[in-house]
Amino acid sequence: MKVNPVLLIILDGFGCRSESAHNAIAMAAKPNWDSLWNQYPHTLIHASEGEVGLPKGQMGNSEVGHLNIGAGRVVYQEYTRIDHAIESGAFFANPMLKSAMKSARDNNGALHILGLLSDGGVHSHERHIHAMLQMAADEGMDEIHIHAFLDGRDTPPKSAEISIARMQEKITEVGKGRIASIIGRYFAMDRDRRWQRVKSAYDLLTQGKAEYTAASAQEGLAMAYARGESDEFVKATAIVPKGESPVRMKDGDAIIFMNFRSDRARQLSRPFIEPDFSEFDREVVPKLSAYCTLTGYSDEFDVLVAFPPERIRNGFGEYIANLGLHQLRIAETEKYPHVTFFFNGGEEVSYPGEDRILVPSPDVATYDLKPEMSAFEVTDKLVAAINSQQYDAIVCNYANADMVGHTGNVEAAKRAIEVIDVCLGRVVEAQLARGGEVLVTADHGNAESMLDVTSGQAHTAHTTNLVPLLYVGKRRAELAGTGALEDISPTLLKMMGLAQPAEMRGEPLISFE
């Protein structure tokens, strides 16, 4: 089957905001982007809130964005599903959660609730952790330990005090439970195989082994701030009230991991559930009675799953694979799961005719130290793939605007945008030279808003701003006035000359003369 070859470029974290103050995208020198934007059809589309299956006011994120883009329809997110389950009461009757707690009770074990204690709503929501504590108390669990991972990335850098206070209020209300440890997500939620970070979290959870000890979570946080650590980077801290011992996991205990987003929960899960785990030496390996994850983290994990994923049929990748077409997914490590796992509907599947290129992300502590990340290497491989003329559709993600935007460093974020611009120029030129067309968009905003004007702190989170949609090709075309991420796959299919499957409820935003 002969189709028009298309290239989808997802500029992660590249939102649109009219004000230029504290806007790294507006402040950056980007001649290629400006030229393309002025020369070719473009519009702004929605990437947050209800348009991507999230609650009102909730910013989009990379997982949600790529799910919606690849599915060609609004995908109602686990966040929303779990909220609805709590509101309806179904959460408190969830059979997997009940099973985990029964296993602990039958073995005289404690319940350990792990998760990102945050109202950011990207990887977790503290409201769900509160509900879990309530359920555990209602189910008769006597020993409940909360291991709080601190955010500061999808929330202001120093905002954990409020979340900890709300958690303490809930503990007081139900009359059970205690915060047993705190640690920044930098350690507990690494996804780039920096196993020494994960080990510090694992040792804290299993042994109460920590660099620091505090009598309360509030005291531990204050100590971290005094050391110059923001929430994301809080070092392992065991919470040990006067006269008590650090919490240690023992045989028969059960774990419930409360993050609903999978990509940053997988690595920490592995040493608990893999008998032959070898990424670091485990000094203690508790024989858990149950390990339950709030959502499905991986098809390879043999664990209880409270809210299994809902199957997405006939997304972009599956649909064109069934037509016998060839496709490529390419990104660096930070966003590789998004152009593969999430773009394919949250399934560990590679379709026939689907090739993948993973470019390693640089090994730096934070990406403001190397705002280029691996964009140039991604571009080299992408241009080579275009020139090979093997592919009918290519999906590429550039991580820079998002990952550097998360650091809050405006100058580094500007540099990140300028690097993307250079890469964009090379890639578009190559695709046009081979007779192809390009669609450029973003999965959510970030780098366009680098200051939280309310708190005066660096803005390190995503935004609810609209994102760009830009068509680059030799045909005369128009783009609709607005749309959402669900419309991107239908738009790509129309560019390719293909009908969209019935399962896609998005609309093509492009029309050709």
- Just list the catalytic residues: 62
> Quick one: DSSP state of residue 83?
H
Alpha-carbon gap, residue 61 to 47, rounded angstroms: 8
In this structure, how many other beta carbons lie within 10 angstroms of the beta carbon of residue 107? 17
Greatest pairwise CA separation for the chain in angstroms:
78
Q: Which residue has the tokens 């303490």?
A: 168
Q: Any alpha helices (H) in 208-256, and if so which ranges? A: 217-226
What dihedral do alpha carbons 467, 473, 479, 485 form, nearest 10°? -40
Inter-residue contact 270 to 277 (CB < 8 Å): yes
Alpha-carbon gap, residue 390 to 436, rounded angstroms: 12
Strand order of the β-sheet with 304-307 is 212-214, 237-239, 178-184, 144-150, 111-116, 254-257, 290-295, 304-307
Name residues whose C-beta falls within 8 Å of residue 102's C-beta, 6 or more positions apart in sequence. Answer: 139
SS3 (DSSP) at 341:
helix
Name residues whose C-beta falls within 8 Å of residue 389's C-beta, 6 or more positions apart in sequence. Answer: 5, 434
* Beta bridge pairs of residue 254: 111, 290
Q: What angle do CA 107, 108, 109 make, to 5 degrees?
A: 85
Alpha-carbon gap, residue 284 to 277, rounded angstroms: 12
Alpha-carbon gap, residue 198 to 201, rounded angstroms: 5
Alpha-carbon gap, residue 46 to 444, rounded angstroms: 8
Q: Which residue has the tokens 């920044």?
A: 184
Alpha-carbon gap, residue 418 to 412, rounded angstroms: 10
Strand order of the β-sheet with 393-398 is 42-45, 467-472, 437-441, 6-11, 393-398, 327-332, 354-359
Q: Phi and psi at residue 238, in whole multiples of 5°?
A: -85, 135
> Quick one: DSSP state of residue 342?
I
Name residues whose C-beta falls within 8 Å of residue 134's C-beta, 6 or more positions apart in sequence. Answer: 92, 170, 174
Q: How many residues does the chain have?
A: 513
Alpha-carbon gap, residue 275 to 2, rounded angstroms: 49
SS3 (DSSP) at 140:
coil
